[in-house]
């Protein structure tokens, strides 16, 4: 793995560790459940970002089958199907500038608002 990517991933993991310690302190201190849940969502989001960074690196290294197996297991555990895997594949291989246009088109087709 390239050194700059390793550094980025380690920084994200340190951030996640700090968030987890903060949640632990909140639980010990008896903080309100809404506050704890908010921090747990932030922790989950940070972990997803770290996973995405790592998965993109695996894809760039040509390890797509390993990534595909991991995604299939993850989505199966969440009860989601192959259509989502196909959408994720498209996102991984679509340049960011084209990805934004494609999401707008998909949102327009489905009638969803994409928040932009």
Q: pLDDT, tens digit, for every residue of 66-98?
A: 777 777 777 777 666 667 667 766 776 666 666
CATH superfamily of the 1-62 domain: Metal-sensitive repressor, helix protomer (1.20.58.1000)
CATH 1.20.58.1000 spans which residues of the chain? 1-62
Query: What mean pLDDT do residues 37-66 have?
Result: 84
Q: Check pLDDT > 90 for residue 28.
A: yes
Q: Between 40 and 2, where is the model more confident?
A: 40
d(Cα 8, Cα 42) in Å, to the nearest integer? 18
- Contact (Cβ atoms closer than 8 angstroms) between residue 53 and residue 12: yes
d(Cα 51, Cα 67) in Å, to the nearest integer? 11
Q: What are phi and psi of 51, to 5 degrees?
A: -65, -45
Q: pTM (2 decimals)?
A: 0.55
The pair of three-digit structure tokens given for residue 115, joined into one six-digit string: 């928040």
Q: Check pLDDT > 60 for residue 49.
A: yes
Q: Check pLDDT > 60 for residue 40.
A: yes
What's the count of helices (H) and strands (E) in the chain, helices before strands? 5, 0
pLDDT of residue 58: 78
pLDDT of residue 88: 67
d(Cα 25, Cα 36) in Å, to the nearest integer? 10
d(Cα 81, Cα 20) in Å, to the nearest integer? 30
| Rounded (5°) CA angle 90-93-96 | 95
pLDDT of residue 37: 94
């Amino acid at each position: 793995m390239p050194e700059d990517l390793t550094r980025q991933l380690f920084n994200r993991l340190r951030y996640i560790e700090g968030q987890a310690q903060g949640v632990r302190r909140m639980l010990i201190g008896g903080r309100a459940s809404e506050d704890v849940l908010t921090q747990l969502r932030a922790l989950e989001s940070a972990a997803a970002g770290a996973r995405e960074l790592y998965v993109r690196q695996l894809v760039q290294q040509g390890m797509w089958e390993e990534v595909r197996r991991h995604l299939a297991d993850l989505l199966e555990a969440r009860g989601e199907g192959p259509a989502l895997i196909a959408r994720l594949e498209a996102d991984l291989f679509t340049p960011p500038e084209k990805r934004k246009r494609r999401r707008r088109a998909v949102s327009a087709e489905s009638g969803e608002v994409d928040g932009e």
